[in-house]
Structure 1
Amino acid sequence: MKKTLFALITFFYVGISCSSKAKTIDTKSSLSDIKSTPETIILYKNLKKMTQKGILFGHQDDLAYGVNWKYEAGRSDVKEVTGDYPAVYGWDLGGLEKKSPNNIDGIPFDKMRQFIKDAHRRGGVITLSWHFDNPLTGKNAWDTTPKSLTSALPGGESHEKFKSWLDEAAKYILTLKDKNGKLIPMLYRPYHELTGNWFWWCKNNGSPEEFKLLWKFTIDYLQKKGVHNLIYVYNTADFKTKEEFLEYYPGSDYADILSFDNYQYNDPTKDNSFVENCQRQFKIMNEVAKEQNKIMAFAETGYEAIPYDKWWTNSLMKAIGDYKISYVLVWRNHGWQEKEKKMHYYAPFKGQVSEKDFVDFYNLDKILFEKDAAKENLYKK
């Protein structure tokens, strides 16, 4: 009886949600949120145009800390090497669900708010992810206890708790305003790396229909709470075929940008699999993007501690190839990890072995940092 009731709820919600959106949105030219703020629409259109000029470079947590420093005003490992900030800044909302003062990386949400405002004021682009806790068990995002995903769905045992978590996210996002009091347009990458098996929302923890319902409910709920300044990024881990990339896809009227995450793990001088896998994935994603008139991105990548001195101009640029993508973002510069007894960073700092190559990467015509983004006035018509 419970399964039958859940199926009816799912069918009713998805059916109503999809049919109502299909009547009101032109997926070939519009954002998925039909009530998007004018500023968000402008950013989206400009990001689309920018793919013809080059690739915006991004870095996670760039302004908050770097290797051997934390919370120093105006500081950035990227800026110290290149003289310029990244064009894209990644931040994580993990921690909001439990009303923590700090996010999952230890950054106070109050500081993060100011970092977001500062970057936006200079012309940078903000992208958000959310490593939120498992709604069924209360453990972290990496807890893959069975039925965790379904518990968050309408009719599920954690649904009301899950809605309260979305309330906290909506409240925070609605505080992210520019100097004129207007909401800052941002990219939001819900349920990232969904084709993996390491988060409670990944494909091993729910059927395609259940995942699509989770995605659609999340987006619709945030919009009901007045959040209309987000551009939604569909994000996978590895995939081998077009069918696999689209299996859990919520539909073109619920996503604005297509992306995947892929990291370098093996020595690129001995193993070319990173480049080959990225090229395979870009080829597939590019086909979908053309069919649906979507923007593409390389939402997360990197080579921990960057031991190869030509990784930027050789490995990364070959991995992207000639594909026209909106941005590429490398992960955070945490620095020394006491528990693992190793350094953890993905952008170079002064004196790091790939520093010179990163400057060469910065100087490539098709690679764009914040000064380039500012010149393009991404937030103006």
Structure 2
Amino acid sequence: MRRIFFTAIVMIIATATNAQNSELVDPYATKETLALSRNLYKLSESHTLFGHQHAMEYGHGWENEEGRSDVKSVTGSHPGVVGVDLREFTGFSPEHCQKSMEAVRKIVSDTYNRGGVVTVAWHFNNPVSGGEFYWKDSVSKPAVKYIIPGGSAHEQYKDILRQIGNWANNTKGADGKVVPMIFRPFHEFDGEWFWWGKPHCTREEFTSLWKFTVSFLRDSMQVHNFIYAFSPDNKFNSTEEFLERYPGDEWVDMVGMDNYGDMGRDGYKLKKAIKKLRIISDYAEEHCKLAAFTETGLESLTNTNWWNDVLLKVMKTKGLRLSYVLVWRNDKTSPTHYYAPFPGHPGVPDFVKFYNDPYTLFENDLKDIYK
């Protein structure tokens, strides 16, 4: 029996909560964006939203079927958080970019209309050397130093941000309001696999990129529906290491991490995963920020009890306060590249148990999260 009593819990009036003491980094954030932030904070006292990347765009063996998600096919509810990506907004033909913008806009708007939450990743194709977002030796250029203020490609980067800003300002719900989104640019920046990664730019260059991106979208493009999320990979082991490329509290709304390695990919190192999440959660609590487990998962779900024996066990650690946890995508053609169960998968019973746990929140549990 699904949790009927949650309706009262999640119908939160933002102005009545004792949530964050400070506002978002955008003093002109829309009422809906501020309400989302405060409600996520309040819910994180005793719950965590479940998220799935590209949940509404495609799944295991299908794509572009309106209203479908693998998560809903298994549980009866879409995930509470739906992940989308801005990757194909730039670096392709104008026609392709426009088509991608419209497709993602619909996913975002539909999710908002249903009462779900959207998080936005940006696998940004290299704007200087061309090619994709992954770093390739002898091919990729360290684009960060070129696109920050003073760099030779800075004006080009401003044009890219104008496209994103225009898209954000024109992505609206059925109520005519712009849709609040958790914007998570330049993720996993402490690794070497992306062109914005640690070996390819200095700390000063990275923080300059972050600050300019936020300020241009917020102040020049008047984008007031973004919650800005800072998320390295799992390479840190202390608060100091976590903050090594942190641009400052005035530039970040949410802190998180991506961690596949400790959660089963490289063996089960749950104590390490908990330690890192505690660093994030404690920093967020002390600095009036949201915290999240921004990416994780076990490819192919080879451990059919992973949801409860691993993920939920970590999430429910005493003292952790996480707004959401997001697992990666289910590829539409690959027989092995998936992170959420689908009908017929042997891990379905364990995932349904995870769904039914009072700690987890899915889309059907969320009522008035934007009010």
What is the TM-score with the length of structure 2 in the denominator? 0.88
Q: Which secondary structure state, in structure 2, belongs to the residue aligned with residue 300 of structure 1? A: strand
Q: Which residue of 1 aligns with 2:233?
A: 237
Structure 1 position 36 matched with structure 2 position 29? yes
Q: Which residue of 1 aligns with 2:77?
A: 84
Distance 1:369 1:306 in 2: 20
Distance 1:76 1:235 in 2: 26
- Displacement of 1:272 in angstroms is 2.4
Structure 1 segment 281-292 matched on structure 2, within 5 A: 281-292=276-287
Q: Which residue of 1 aligns with 2:345?
A: 352
Structure 1 segment 230-309 matched on structure 2, within 5 A: 230-238=226-234, 239-264=236-261, 271-273=267-269, 275-309=270-304
Structure 1 position 64 matched with structure 2 position 57? yes
Aligned residues: 344
2:222 to 207, 221, 226: 226
Q: Which residue of 2 aligns with 1:378?
A: 369
Q: Unmatched 5+ residue regions in structure 1?
A: 1-26
- Displacement of 1:264 in angstroms is 4.9
Give RMSD over aligned pairs. Answer: 2.0
Give deviations 1:296-347, integer Å, cap 9, x for gaps: 100111111101110000111123223120000111111433xxxx521110
- Displacement of 1:293 in angstroms is 1.6
Structure 1 position 158 matched with structure 2 position 133? no
Whether contact under 8 Å (1:97, 1:166) holds in the other structure is no
Structure 1 segment 83-232 matched on structure 2, within 5 A: 83-98=76-91, 100=93, 101-102=95-96, 108-143=100-135, 145=140, 147-223=142-218, 224-232=220-228
Structure 1 segment 332-343 matched on structure 2, within 5 A: 332-337=329-334, 342-343=335-336
Percent of pairs with identical residues: 40
Q: Which secondary structure state, in structure 2, belongs to the residue aligned with residue 289 of structure 1? A: helix
Runs (4+) of structure 1 exceeding 4 A deviation are 99-103, 264-268
Distance 1:313 1:30 in 2: 35
C-alpha distance 255-328 of structure 1, shift in aligned 2 (>3 A): same
- Displacement of 1:98 in angstroms is 2.8
- Displacement of 1:130 in angstroms is 0.7
C-alpha distance 366-74 of structure 1, shift in aligned 2 (>3 A): same
Whether contact under 8 Å (1:264, 1:303) holds in the other structure is no
Distance 2:85 2:249 in 1: 25
C-alpha distance 125-266 of structure 1, shift in aligned 2 (>3 A): closer
- Displacement of 1:267 in angstroms is 5.6
